[in-house]
Structures are given as C-alpha cells and as structure tokens.
C-alpha cells in the first residue's frame, strides 16, 4: 500500500486507549481504516475508546509492548504511541518508561519490519530538554540532563528516535518520527499532572490553581484535533522526519492559568509553588518543515480549544459526581 493510502488501511496503534492514541483511533476509523489498538491500560483506559467498540473496523487488545507484540494478518501502518507521557506518570514509572522507549519501540519496529508497514514514532519536544535555541527546529540537538528526574522520559524518546533511524537505515523500514509539543483536549486525565487538565480540575472545583514558579515560563499548546491531522499527514507521506507538530503560539503558564479561570467562570485564585527540577524555561516549535512538507498548520485557536476542553471536563466530572 502506498504512503497516500496507509491511514485508510489496516493500522496498529500502540497506546491506543490513551489520550492521543484514542483520538488517533477515532480519526482512523472515520477515514475507513481497520484499527487494532494495543494497550496495557497502565495510563490509558478502555473508556477512551468505548465509542468505537461496536465498530467492526475497531479492535482493542490488551498488550504490553515491552513483553511481545503479535498482530496476525496484514498491517499497513504502525503508530507507536505507547508510553507514559505526563511528568507525574513517568516519575512514578521510571523503569517502565525507559523500557517502553527502548524494548517497546524495538518490538513495534519489528512488527513494522515483518509486515512491510509504514511506521511512525511518537517522539516529543522533551528531546530538546530545556532548550538553548528558541524556537526549536528539528535540527537542534537539545539540552537534556540525562540523570535528572525528567531524564527517564527524555532519554527514552531520544533512544527511540535512534533505534527508529537505525531500522530505517539497516532494514529499510519506512519509518518516521514526529516530535509532539504540548497537546490538550478531551480525554486527558484530570489528575495526570499536566498543567491544563490540572488547572481545569482545580478551577471547576473552586480550588486555587497551582502555578509553578512565577508562571513566566512558556509553553506552546496544540489542540488534539490539530495534532492528529499533522500525525496522519506525516503517516500518509514517506517523509522520515523528525517533524515538529505543535502550535507555535507561545503562552506563559500564568496566562494559561488565567485563561482557564476565565473559561470556567471560576472564582479560583492562583497559588505559586516551587518549579520542578529541569522544568523547561521556554518551549515553542519551529513548524516550517511541517508546513512546507506536509501542508500542515494548526487551525484551532487557543480560546476555542480551551472552551471545548473545559466543556468535556465539566461533563465528565458531572457524570462521575
């Protein structure tokens, strides 16, 4: 199957019950793809793909990619999205995070090699660490502390990029790397430790929003639908990457908190707490490569995406009340 057709073929999504993985599964099924979602449910949940369970083109399979990956039949595309991704998760699961980046990526690449499938690795802006170059182009090698608390995630992804590149060069696997910048939207876990779901949860509960440091550090946040479009555009190309996918609009963390308070109609105030070790000072993608090679640019404005996300969180909290 040619690159322009793989996202409508038979697709394996590792981490398919996670935040990003579930949105990918939804978009792929809507395109007519047959999707096999693999997940060990360590940080994902079947509830994220419950709306797909009645589709004959979707199958959810419990699988830990660090153990073994077996999918019978033809496969056109492997999207490797299995990994703890929030600081709270990978700080609690440091060894598993390293194993899924190393052993799990090797197993997923082996599946793509055996099936002759296109392969896309979900890498991260964390490979740039606390960047000394701003904004961050794909040519920047990063500023990562390998022995700091965040190093388990950063280095797991850097190794995953290296083994993906090696499989492309040695085994001629049609492999690509996407570097994902901060993403938000429905199905994020309210207590996963990332800023936006934490702020929304706190605001809806009427609690103070806990902003690290003085809140002047910046992030560039991309709505999940835009991210999914970019990932699938990369999958349908034969570009090897790495390609940055993220929204280049840069916001301070304090501004994000203030906007969440306004969007929720909360009366919550802001409380400042100590910044985590190795917390990046700035983060903004250079998206010229995605624009020029994939024709991709983000379309959902921050205010619109935030409103959609707040509405989902409010509904979710009401259902569980």
Model confidence over 279-309: pLDDT tens digits? 888 899 999 999 999 999 999 999 999 999 9
Residue 153 annotated as catalytic:
yes
Q: For the residues of 225-263, what is the DSSP string, one character each? A: HHHHHHHHHHHTS-----EEES---EEEHHHHHHHHHHH
**Three-state DSSP class for residue 49:** helix
Phi, psi of 205 (to 5 degrees): -90, -5
Asked whether residue 118 is domain-assigned, the answer is yes
Report the pLDDT value the prediction gives residue 2, as an integer from 0 to 100: 43
- Is the Cβ–Cβ distance between 243 and 177 less than 8 Å? yes
Is residue 177, in this structure, part of any structural domain at all? Answer: yes
Q: Could you give the CA distance from residue 321 to residue 311 in angstroms, rounded to a whole number?
A: 15
Give SS3 for 299: coil
pLDDT in tens, the chain (321 residues): 544 589 999 999 999 999 999 999 999 999 999 999 999 999 999 999 999 999 999 999 999 999 989 999 999 999 999 999 888 888 899 999 999 999 999 999 999 999 999 999 999 999 999 999 999 999 999 999 999 888 999 999 999 999 999 999 999 999 999 999 999 999 999 888 899 999 999 999 999 999 999 999 999 999 999 999 999 999 999 999 999 999 999 999 999 999 999 999 999 999 999 888 878 888 999 999 999 999 999 999 999 999 999 999 998 877 776
Q: How far apart are CA 194 and CA 172, in angstroms?
A: 37
82 found inside a domain = yes
Strand stretches in the chain, DSSP E: 10-14, 34-39, 58-62, 77-80, 118-124, 175-180, 183-184, 209-212, 218-220, 222-223, 243-245, 250-252, 270-273
The closest of 216, 197, 225 to 301, measured between CA atoms, is 225
Residue 29: inside a domain, yes or no? yes
The CA distance from 19 to 259, in Å, is 22
pLDDT of residue 119: 98
pLDDT digits (tens, 9 = 90+) for 18-75: 999 999 999 999 999 999 999 999 999 999 999 999 999 999 999 999 998 999 999 9
Report how many domains make up the chain: 1
Residue 42 lies in a domain: yes
In a domain, 200, yes or no: no
Query: In what helix (H) or strand (E) does residue 264 lie, and over which residues does it extend?
Result: helix 253-264
Q: Choosing from 90, 128, 153, 223, which is the catalytic residue?
A: 153
Predicted pLDDT of residue 321: 61
Percent helix, percent strand, percent coil in the chain, to nearest 5 = 45, 20, 40
pLDDT at 4: 54
| Owning domain of residue 32 | 3-185+222-247+285-300
Q: Considering the domain boundaries, does residue 241 fall inside one?
A: yes
Task: Enter the DSSP assignment of 101.
Answer: I
User: Tell me, what CATH number does 118's domain have?
Assistant: 3.40.50.720
**First-residue to last-residue Cα distance in the chain:** 47
**Could you tell me if residue 150 is inside a domain?**
yes
């Amino acid at each position: 199957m040619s690159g322009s057709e793989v996202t409508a073929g038979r697709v394996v999504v590792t981490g398919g019950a996670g935040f990003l993985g579930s949105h990918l599964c939804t978009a792929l099924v809507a395109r007519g793809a047959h999707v096999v979602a693999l997940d060990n449910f360590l940080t994902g949940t079947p509830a994220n793909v419950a709306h797909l369970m009645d589709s004959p083109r979707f199958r959810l399979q419990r699988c830990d990619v660090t153990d073994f990956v077996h999918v019978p039949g033809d496969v056109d595309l492997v999207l490797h999205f299995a990994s703890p991704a929030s600081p709270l998760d990978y700080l609690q699961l440091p060894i598993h995070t390293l194993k899924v980046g190393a052993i799990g990526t090797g197993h997923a690449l082996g599946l793509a090699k055996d099936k002759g499938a296109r392969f896309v690795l979900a890498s991260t802006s964390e490979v740039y660490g606390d960047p000394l170059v701003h904004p961050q182009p794909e040519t920047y090698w990063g500023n990562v502390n390998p022995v700091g608390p965040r190093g388990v995630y950063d280095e797991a992804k850097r190794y995953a990029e290296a083994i993906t590149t090696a499989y492309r060069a040695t085994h001629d696997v049609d492999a690509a790397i996407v570097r994902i910048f901060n993403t938000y939207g429905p199905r994020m876990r309210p207590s996963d430790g990332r800023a936006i779901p934490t702020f929304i949860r706190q605001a809806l509960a009427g609690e103070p929003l806990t902003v690290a440091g003085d809140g002047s550090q910046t992030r560039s946040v991309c709505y999940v639908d835009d991210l999914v479009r970019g990932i699938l555009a990369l999958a349908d190309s034969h570009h090897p990457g790495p390609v940055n996918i993220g929204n280049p609009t840069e916001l301070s963390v304090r501004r994000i908190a203030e906007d969440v308070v306004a969007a929720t109609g909360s009366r919550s105030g802001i409380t400042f707490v100590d910044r985590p070790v190795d917390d990046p000072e700035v983060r903004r993608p250079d998206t010229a490569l995605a624009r020029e090679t994939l024709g991709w640019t983000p379309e959902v404005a921050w205010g619109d995406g935030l409103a959609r996300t707040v509405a989902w969180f409010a509904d979710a909290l009401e259902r569980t009340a």
